Structure 1
Amino acid sequence: MKKIPYILSIFGIIGFIVLQAGNKTTVADADHEIKTLASVLQDENILITGWSVYARETLDEKNVDTLVKDLMTQFPNWTWESSDSEVIAVSESQELQEKIKIVSTDTKGSVHTYVMYEVRGQYWNKNTETFLNKNLPGRIFDIFRGNATTFSCIEGDISDKIKSALPVYKTKLLKAFQAEEVEGLEEDLFISTSAVSPLFDNSLSNDHEMNMQLGLRKTDRLGAKTTLVVGTPIITIEY
């Protein structure tokens, strides 16, 4: 179990690399990816307990003020906060949380500015699908000025009646996604694997031929259960 923080740090580094490199996708790709993830998990009788779509784009610093003004006009009912280095807008409902974030970072004397959008939900239902079909494309179009880098993640609980070992679940899920494992890390109560699946078009980068990650964790406390997180092209949330 002591290796888990190290394992998570590795995937955190990978995530940072891909965020810097970028993985250009379209809104249609993001919509397709999150719904494909959900469809496969539902076919495996896995209860979806959370989902997220994250999009990001590098912004020319001279356009920041104009973009902020435009977004405040388009989303006047959102809660806006600003500081010297970032602007954040949040909208929350009973089922969804949406966030826009414009942030500038200084990397070795060079300032980089990014605009980010994230939507999170706890349930997968008809309202979720309506949002993805009707609202998400408009959000991406309004917020971004070019092709945004997008990532999709879903969290879920596996029915543990049979008390199967984690490698059994991993093998079954990789098969469900028609995926081939590229690399993985295993502990007694934790598994993380990177894979390539024909269900998703975009890969991590030209140097990393992978387009999905899967994390499985088994708790040994009272009410023990097996949880999972799956993302494309990588997992972008803590797990």
Structure 2
Amino acid sequence: MAFWRWVVIGFVLSAWGYMHVQSSEAYDASIEPLTELLQFAEDEQLAVNEWQVRVREDQLGSVSKQAFIAKTQSLEKKLSGWEKESLSLEGSEWKALFTYHDPNQQMTESVQLFAYQDGQADQHTALLTYAVKGTSNPGEDLESHQNLVEQRIQQLGLAQSDVYVQIQAYDHNDRNVSNKQLARTWVTKLGAKKVEALDEESFVSLSAYNPDWPTGIVTNELEMNVQLAIREQGLGARTTVTLGTPIITTEY
């Protein structure tokens, strides 16, 4: 139960340094579940309103404040044309955020350099994260989006890093079954077996394991790499469905 409560609070970027995910060795194998999740949404008549891919370097090693600034400047050169949203060097956490919005493709990319204090006042452990978020189902543009993400990963030196894939959709259908049963059915259709579950009045969350997907985490000594959440917004309102591998990385 505690595991799920922690995830619901939000798996924010700044917390990624404290959780290990088993990395896949090939990027294309890691992102393949995105195709499957989008196809699943289409088969189940779910209206996709968002998809995202996040790639995180586990650790870049210890850095001083000067080294962090130098890394930020290096990123700024690599990301020509991007906007430097913020740079914070105060306190025990340092952050630099760059974004790029492509209105033609209806997606936004972001790169964050993050460092947290690792015991010494003048030394921090640095992490680098790349994320891309799109609205609606990309359809025929999916392949070009995947190619772009792969190029960014190579550009940023993240080819051996952890990959997180996620979609969010709305369900406007009258299923005539409980959300608990629906979650179990959907996980089975995704080729996964249930590991943990949380069932509340208007919210159901289920973790599971699909042996064909390349990444995973361990919770309560069991491996998982599929997470499904169903949340009802109220009587007569839409139902939100969130699917992620190996874990959902945003609040849901």
* Bucket of the pairwise TM-score, normalised by the shorter protein: 0.7 to 0.9
Gaps of 5+ in 1: none
Counterpart-to-counterpart distance in 1, 2:18 and 2:33: 18
Report the equivalent of 1:28. Answer: 28
Structure 2 Cα separation of the partners of residues 35 and 215 of structure 1? 19
Q: Which residue of 2 aligns with 1:123?
A: 136
Of 88, 98, 101, the residue aligned with 1:89 is: 98
Quick one: structure 1 residues 13 and 104, their matched pair in 2 at CA, closer, same or farther if it must change by over 3 Å?
same
Question: 1:97–1:120: 8 Å Cα contact kept in structure 2?
Answer: yes
- Provide runs of 4+ in structure 1 moved above 6 Å: none
Residue 48 of structure 2 contacts residue 136 of structure 2 at CA under 8 Å; is this kept in 1?
A: yes
Matches within 5 A, 1:45-194: 45-57=45-57, 58-61=59-62, 64=68, 67-80=71-84, 81-84=86-89, 85-94=94-103, 95-109=106-120, 111-126=124-139, 128-144=141-157, 147-194=160-207
**Normalising by structure 2, what TM-score?**
0.81
Task: Report Cα offsets for 1:156-193 as digits up to 9, x if no partner.
Answer: 11232344320231122012112110110101211011
1:211 match: 225
1:185-229 CA distance string (max 9 Å, x none): 1012110111011341222149431111111111224x4222111
How many residue pairs were aligned?
A: 234
Secondary structure at the aligned position of 1:21 is classed as: coil
Q: Is the 8 A contact 1:55 1:148 kept in 2?
A: yes
Name the CA distance, whole Å, in 1 between partners of 2:16 and 2:183: 25
| Cα shift at 1:127 | 6.0
TM-score by length of 1: 0.86
- Residues 209 and 226 from structure 1, CA distance in 2 versus in 1: closer, same or farther, beyond 3 angstroms? same
Residue 52 to residue 141, structure 1, CA distance change in 2 (3 Å): same
Question: For 1:19-61, what per-residue CA distance to the aligned partner results, in whole angstroms no more than 9, with x for missing partners?
Answer: 5323212321232121121122222221111111111111134
- RMSD of aligned alpha carbons: 2.7
Flag structure 2 segments of 5+ consecutive residues without an equivalent.
none
Higher alpha-carbon deviation: 127-136 or 45-54: 127-136
Cα deviation digits, residues 36-87 of structure 1 (max 9, x gap) = 2112222222111111111111113457555434432232110013232221
Write the distance in 1 (CA, Å) between the matches of 2:159 and 2:142.
Answer: 25
Secondary structure of the structure 2 residue equivalent to 1:77: coil
